[in-house]
Amino acid sequence: MCSPIELTGISDSVILTMMIYCVALFLRRDVAHRILGIMAIFVAFSLISRLIGFPPLIRVIDTIIFSMPVILALIFQNDLRRALLMMGKHHTKSSQTPDDGAVDEVLQALSDMAGRRIGALIVIVRNQPIEHLIQVGTDIDAKVTSELLNSIFIPYSPIHDGAVILHYSKITKAGCLLPLSQNPDISKSFGTRHRAALGLSELSDALVLVVSEETGKISAVHDSKITYDIDSADLKKLLKKSMDHHTQRN
């Protein structure tokens, strides 16, 4: 028969497990389910060890369970940083408004490059700044046009390997290096461009569009997820929403 102290220990473990699960679910759903399964096993072992009265095992399991918040912080450090940036950022209404034609220009460029299997990486900045996340790059201050995007990503262009940064209806940078994702679950079929797109989406709210030079397929990457071979209608809707995002918040 378990004593009240032992039952309190079990209930504390269960409550802590559920709290950690809720935080993990908020940050990343797929990993949250795995964490819940692992912690459920630990709680089960904790219950068994208390029933059989084995103090050494109880101490070990309790130490692991109550260390989970620290482990969780390490696992989700990038997601936590992004969430804190989102909460701490003060949105101000900008005097700039996106040009509706920019969406069509980007779509046309993506279609052209996909048809010719020219690799491309296009970043649409939304609310969070990304300057601290990108490396090198050539400053450009030009209106978005399909011709300019196509010329940047032509294979013999000196800046074709990097990413193009779009802010409102302007191309602000080209040839930028993005942080690569360290996610072990990403498909091995995805190359450097997809890993770079996913890496930036893990650290910011940017929308990243990728054209695969191997397949000619277009992928949309945001919120740490890749939509491979995205439907043209869905792509247009997502792109318009992202490019209009600045004017929808105060």
The model's pLDDT over 184-207, given as tens digits with 9 standing for 90+, comes to 778 777 888 999 999 999 888 899
Residue 99 CB burial class (10 angstroms; 0-12, 13-18, ≥19) = middle
- CA distance to 57, 114, 140, 177, per residue, from 164 (Å): 55, 16, 9, 9
- CA distance to 43, 53, 218, per residue, from 59 (Å): 12, 11, 52
Q: 43-52, 61-70, 140-149 — which is least confidently predicted?
A: 61-70
Can you give the pLDDT at residue 80? 62
Residues 6+ apart with CB under 8 A from 42: 13, 17, 61, 64, 65
Residue 106 in contact with residue 149, Cβ under 8 Å? Answer: yes
For residue 122, is pLDDT > 90? yes
Read off the amino acid at residue 177. Answer: L
Token readout for 54 is 């084995």
d(CA 243, CA 245): 6
Token readout for 146 is 């399909």
SS3 40: helix
Residue 125 in contact with residue 244, Cβ under 8 Å? Answer: no
Can you give the pLDDT at residue 86? 54
Full DSSP string of 142-154: EE--HHHHHHHHS
Tokens 């102290």 belong to 5
Q: 6-10, 102-106, 108-112 — which is least confidently predicted?
A: 6-10
Residue 201: other Cβ atoms inside 10 A: 23
Average pLDDT over residues 15-23: 57
- Domain range list for the chain: 4-75, 100-248
Tell which wins on pLDDT, 211 or 27.
Answer: 211
39's enclosing H/E stretch is: helix 29-52
CATH topology of domain 100-248: YojJ-like (1 (3.40.1700)
The model's pLDDT over 145-190, given as tens digits with 9 standing for 90+, comes to 999 999 999 988 888 889 999 987 889 999 999 989 877 778 777 8
d(CA 246, CA 229): 26
For residue 233, is pLDDT > 50? yes
Residues 6+ apart with CB under 8 A from 158: 175
Tell which wins on pLDDT, 18 or 57.
Answer: 57
Can you give the pLDDT at residue 156? 84
